[in-house]
Amino acid sequence: MWLTVLLLWIVVYPLALVFLQSVRGEAGWTLQYVAEFVSERREWSAMWASIWISAASVALAAIIGIPLAFVFERVDFPGRRVLGALVALPAVLPPLVGVIAFLFLYGESGFVGRAVALVLGLDEAPWRLRGPGAILLVHAYSMYVYFYLFMRAGLARIDGSMYEAAQSLGAGPWSTVARVTLPLLRPQVAAAALLTFMTSLGSFSAPYIFGGGFRVMTTQIVASKLNGDMAMATAETAGLALVALVGLALLRRTRGTDLVAAVGKGTAPPARALTRPLVRWGATGVGWVLGLFLLLPHMTLVLVSFVPVGTWTTQLFPPAYGLGNYVDLVSEPERLRPLMNSLWMAAAATVAALAISVWAGRLVVQRRASLRGMIETLVNVPWAVPGTVLAIALAATFSIRAPWVGRWVLVGTVVILPLAYLIRNIPIASGSVLAGFRQLDPSLEEAAASLGAGRWRTLRAITLPLLRPAILAGGALAFATALGDFVTSIVLYTFDTRPISIEILGALRQFDVGLAAAYGVLLMVFSAAAMTVGTKR
């Protein structure tokens, strides 16, 4: 009951207020802002850009991710295991960090840009990393992983006899894929498509850094907010939230039932080993080239992080390297501060999100159907809301003092960013924790009760220890996400509470690429560590 109220207040209420405020002015109800929004050409083009960029991202990610999943799950060649793990590596780059890595690598003054200019004898790179193409490049790189991981997980569960049955009925390999494998994996494809679409719709870092004059809704909203036009930002936010909800509803419908789970329980056939040596080692070679390509951003970031400020001008490779940036990070209080800010805010948000998840989990498993559906929906709402929308909603809700309607002035205080991180963490943490609860045999808690243990002792001695893997996994992922957050931070930060991502932006503005990269490396390391903790069983 109290949990429902809490979730309604922090998750639903701000969003509802955004919709409400977009049709309310100083003089009461008005359609003025909506009219302004609708009549502006540039609003429409930003909206359209958001939608088509998202759709194109889904297509690109699918085209890259699905074949990769088939190759690594079905074909055996030397190095398959290591390479298969490497392919998932883009996932450890927080969005902003991935974007700056691309900037250092493929930007006009990045390594590849310089190399090409050198080879062709030009003064500068023959391209500019700008506009929709650049955004799609980053999206494709970071989001194909969803398709790759989901499809591999699905493929691993399809029983080998399925393929044999198709073959014995006369279907060739391609026809088997088209008529058996892909239809069976429809839920996985749909889930990956949904995740890619929603991530892309809410994507902010890539359009912000690479967009230039090309605006999508997220950058448009932040621009309006920074211009002080909060009314317009609110109307835009309502528009984007609407698109997100419609997209979610449409994509949910394509999911279908999980047929693999129904007919599954089978064991996947062993991957087919490549026998001809040339093909075998050719595959390994291509695999390593691909792996290297995927690792280039990470390596670039590490390399650039050793570059002292102001030393790298026109050379292909930086002329000087040193640990100076890292030393500065920990020794200069003003440099250390964003790091500490990010760490404590992410930690606080994660602990709170885990507490809410465990609370929700307890309620959900206690067979009270009415509350269960409600809570499961509520904890998942923030997932469907682009980060920018959430940030604007919080900024609008908590900038006024009106305790009787649940509003306090939190904007500008130390509370607002952890609160934003917390809300974004709730679906991540609860996804894992609720799954853990569902695997828990309810009779274990009953056994504890029948042996005389009260509620707290049962929670402490039985439930929490058994949920440990789920809590660790959800917590690690939530922590990494909050640590790398840029979208909500840029709307809600203050100078004193600025997190790492904001500092990266500041360093970039001062052309201190080394420092920006050093922060990026730290984020990358934390994310990788969190993923390692999270996937350990």
Binding interface with another protein (CB under 8 A)? 441, 443-444, 446-454, 457, 461-462, 465-466
| Tokens of residue 105, six digits | 């690598």
Question: Which of 487, 375, 403, 489 has its CA nearest to residue 12?
Answer: 375
- For residues 513 and 304, give the distance between their C-alpha atoms in angstroms, rounded to a whole number: 7
- Cβ–Cβ under 8 Å, residues 418 and 463: no
Widest distance between CA atoms in the chain: 81
- Cβ at position 4, least distance to another protein in Å: 21
- The least CB distance from residue 437 to another protein, in Å, is 15
Of residues 165 and 447, the one with the C-beta less far from another protein? 447
Residue with Cβ nearer another protein (313 or 443):
443
Q: Which is nearer to another protein, 173 or 465 (CB)?
A: 465
DSSP 83-129: HHHHTTGGGGS-HHHHHHHHHHHHSTTSHHHHHHHHHHT-SS-SS--
Q: Which is nearer to another protein, 327 or 461 (CB)?
A: 461
β-strand partners of 471 = none
Contact 58, 197 (CB under 8 A): yes
Minimum separation from the CB atom of position 351 to another protein (A): 22
CB of 535 to another protein, least distance (A): 20
Cross-strand pairs, 25: 28
Nearer CB in complex with another protein: 96/462: 462
SS3 state of residue 255? coil
SS3 316: coil
- Indicate the residue among 179 and 368 with the shorter CB distance to another protein: 368
Residues 6+ apart with CB under 8 A from 246: none
> How far apart are CB 441 and another protein at their closest, in Å?
6
Beta strands at 24-25 and 28-29: parallel, antiparallel or unpaired: antiparallel
Neighbours of 224 (CB within 10 A): 20
Please report, for residues 251, 363, 425, the alpha-carbon distance to residue 191 in angstroms, rounded to integers and kept in the order given. Answer: 8, 26, 19
Shortest distance, position 457 Cβ to another protein, whole Å: 7
Q: Which is closer to another protein, CB of 426 or CB of 462?
A: 462
Instruction: Give first-to-last CA distance, the chain, whole Å.
Output: 33
407 phi and psi angles, rounded to 5 deg: -125, 130
What is the nearest approach in angstroms of another protein to the Cβ of residue 439? 11
Shortest CB 400 distance to another protein, Å: 44
Select 178 or 451, whichever has its Cβ closest to another protein.
451
Closer to another protein by Cβ: residue 83 or 448: 448
User: Tokens 């291509």, residue?
Assistant: 286
CB of 363 to another protein, least distance (A): 17
Length of the chain: 537
